């Protein structure tokens, strides 16, 4: 199964970045290839964790592909973590995690991890060829969204490329 992980250092508070990752309904505003996003069956634990189902419509216009990915999502504001897991088509398996680590000086290390396998071998081969590029575009879009919504907490935090 293809796996990808990336850590990026950003000059924002962890809670601000967590809020972006946990705000699935707004993904179409900034996530590349995300045409629509819906959330339902939302509930919250006593410890503040949110659990919900989410469907994200992905569109690849150049390849004339459109897929809907449905996931079980857990958003934990205490641990500053968002995890989406799916075994629904088109995924045979998907595990996606965002983790936000406070650097103490106002910056945050963002860990992004994804492990997946698609049910369609053809789609798997197609996606695998552009996967690294697509994930980097998602991370860049996430970073741009942070700059759009929040002011950097410090200009002295070295930002990862």
This prediction has a pTM of: 0.89
User: DSSP letter at 52?
Assistant: E
pLDDT, tens digit, 9 for 90 and up, residues 44-55: 999 999 999 999
pLDDT at 20: 98
The pLDDT of residue 31 is above 70: yes
Sorting pLDDT into bands at 50, 70 and 90, what band is 79? very high
* CB count in 10 Å sphere of residue 1: 13
Highest mean pLDDT among 14-18, 33-37, 66-70, 128-132: 14-18
Q: Which domains does the chain have, with CATH numbers?
A: 3-26+73-149 (3.30.530.20)
Sign, CA torsion 67/133/141/151: positive
Residue 130 to residue 127: CA distance in whole angstroms: 6
């Amino acid at each position: 199964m293809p796996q990808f992980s990336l850590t990026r250092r950003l000059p924002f508070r962890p809670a601000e970045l967590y809020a972006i990752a946990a705000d699935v309904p707004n993904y179409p505003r900034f996530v590349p290839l995300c045409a629509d996003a819906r959330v339902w069956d939302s509930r919250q634990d006593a410890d503040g964790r949110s659990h919900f189902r989410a469907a994200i419509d992905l569109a690849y216009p150049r390849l004339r592909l459109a897929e809907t990915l449905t996931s079980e999502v857990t958003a934990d504001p205490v641990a500053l973590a968002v995890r989406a897991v799916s075994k629904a088509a088109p995924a045979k398996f998907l595990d996606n995690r965002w983790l936000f680590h406070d650097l103490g000086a106002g910056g945050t290390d963002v860990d992004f991890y994804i492990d997946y396998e698609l049910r369609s071998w053809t789609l798997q081969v197609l996606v695998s060829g552009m996967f690294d590029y697509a994930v980097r575009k998602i991370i860049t879009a996430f970073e741009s969204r942070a700059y759009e919504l929040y002011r950097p907490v410090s200009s002295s935090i070295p930002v990862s490329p």
